[in-house]
Amino acid sequence: MQFNSYSYLVLLIPVTVLFWYLPVAWRKWYLLAVSAAFYASWSVTYAAIPYALIGMSWLVARRMIGASTEKDKSFWLTVGIAAVLAVLAFFKYRDFALENANIMLTSLGATPIRTTLQLALPLGISFYAFEAVSYLIDTRQGRVRDARFPDLALFVTFWPHMIAGPIVRVREFFPQIEKPKPFNTLLLVEGCDRLLWGLVQKNLIANNLAGWVSEGFMPQAAAANSTLDNWALAVGFGLQIYFDFASYSNMAIGASRLVGIVLPENFRFPYHAASPPDFWTRWHMTLSRWIRDYLFFPVNAKYKGAQGPLYLSLLGIMALVGLWHGAGWGFVLWGLFHGVYLALYRMWEHVTETRYPQWAKSAAWGWFWRVFMLAAAMLAWVPFRSDSLGQAVTMLKSMLFSVQFHVSYSLNFYLTVALVSLFCALEPWLCEQLRRRLVPQGASVRWPVWNIALARPLIYAGALLLFLIFDDKDVQFIYFQF
């Protein structure tokens, strides 16, 4: 079931109602059962994989806690992380590794490796594998205590965030199931707000861009595109993936609030970023903090912030972020692009701190980095979306060097990209205006009668109408493939 399917939306109503009618002691088990059923609805065959990872992580964590020496604790942490990553690599990177190994073997005149094993990618494995790793590391560092297996299972498999995030931390989730919240009208309304806004983002915006983008990124079309076409397609895909992924995050956050659980935010107007580091505090925020806390900080602590290792670590870590997204060199190149952006900005910061401190306060430099980051982010989406590196190189050459300005697609495509871009530019202001007018402020929250009886019903009706009108394209969420 997709979040924007009729079956999911209809079933969500009785699931929510029954949750609040159940005794508190039963609710955790109820959520476990619902989450298991939700994941099994995608594939009964692969339904056991997350629970196997959970069981392995739980056993390893218990061995770490019971270990008598720091050396033994570190040994068990290494074993646990290696096991989780081995499962992830087997399902996600097996074919990619085999393909590249065969290219090397063929170039050396050796016989390529042949296999008949065909396995689908288990849905959400990249996300729940990262959560299992974070649980192991946090246990090793003493940030979380020994967890009961049902609590850990619910943490990993809780259906709103299991497939495509937000990536949650144990210390964010456990307190909410140990001390459940009482029924709260505000939380329920916030959940409905986020759920309906996510539906509109997906059906009205992301899915309407999807058709144009898919046509323009077809290999035959990409070879004939002009500079204007390719920039419009890069911007179009940048907007599509933003509204597609943000819609999923909003619906996940909304559904979880319906059952009294608050998930962390995942997006904060990323195309308004003031710099490359700022972009990663706005885009896929829960992945960014995971990478920061479990990769970037430990690596740079080892080298005590030296400039050379800092720049190399940015390139290496962002390449891994790209590889995490997908088993393909285009994803790695996307990560390397962002690694270069981050390294360039850190170099600029180093120069301003040591030689030209006045630059740091310059409005001109501030605007330069804003424009640079917006254009650079769109440029990086090209290898991310392209079918091959060759196609990505062709499109990038057209965008930067072989300049042509003819148009290859319907005028509606360019107008759609322009209108969605305008909406994206106004989105922070629009959201703030709606928040001020529709969300009661202050310590004692009281909902005005006009809000409950008139404004919200009208807004909900309008959102549902837009969802139904534009529900003519069956487009899967982009991040489901990761």
Q: Where in the sequence numbering do the catalytic residues fall?
A: 325
| pLDDT tens digits, one per residue of 42-86 | 888 888 999 999 999 999 999 998 888 889 999 999 999 999 999
Is residue 402 left, alpha or beta, with left meaning phi > 0 and alpha meaning psi from -120 to 50?
beta
Q: Rounded distance, CA 298 to CA 188, Å? A: 39
> Tokens at residue 353, please?
């701190």
The torsion defined by the Cα of 125, 129, 132 and 134, in degrees rounded to 10, comes to -130
> Tokens at residue 81, please?
């992380």
Question: What b-and-e string marks burial along 295-307, b requiring 16 or more CB atoms within 10 Å of the CB?
Answer: bbeebbeeeeeee
The torsion defined by the Cα of 191, 196, 198 and 202, in degrees rounded to 10, comes to 160
Domain ranges (residues) in the chain = 6-180, 188-400
Answer whether 152's CB lies under 8 Å from 58's CB: yes
| pLDDT tens digits, one per residue of 199-226 | 888 888 898 899 899 999 998 888 889 9
- Each of the 482 residues of the chain gets a pLDDT tens digit; together they read 788 788 888 899 999 999 999 999 899 999 999 999 999 988 888 889 999 999 999 999 999 988 888 899 999 999 999 999 999 999 998 888 888 888 888 888 787 788 777 778 888 899 999 999 999 999 998 888 878 999 999 999 999 999 887 999 998 999 998 888 888 888 888 898 899 889 888 888 898 899 899 999 998 888 889 999 999 999 999 999 999 999 999 999 999 999 999 999 999 999 999 999 999 999 999 999 999 999 888 888 777 767 888 889 899 999 999 999 988 999 999 999 999 999 999 999 888 877 877 777 788 888 999 999 999 999 999 999 999 999 999 999 999 988 888 888 999 999 999 999 999 999 999 888 877 766 666 545 565 655 555 666 677 777 777 666 666 666 677 766 66
* AA identity, residue 217: F
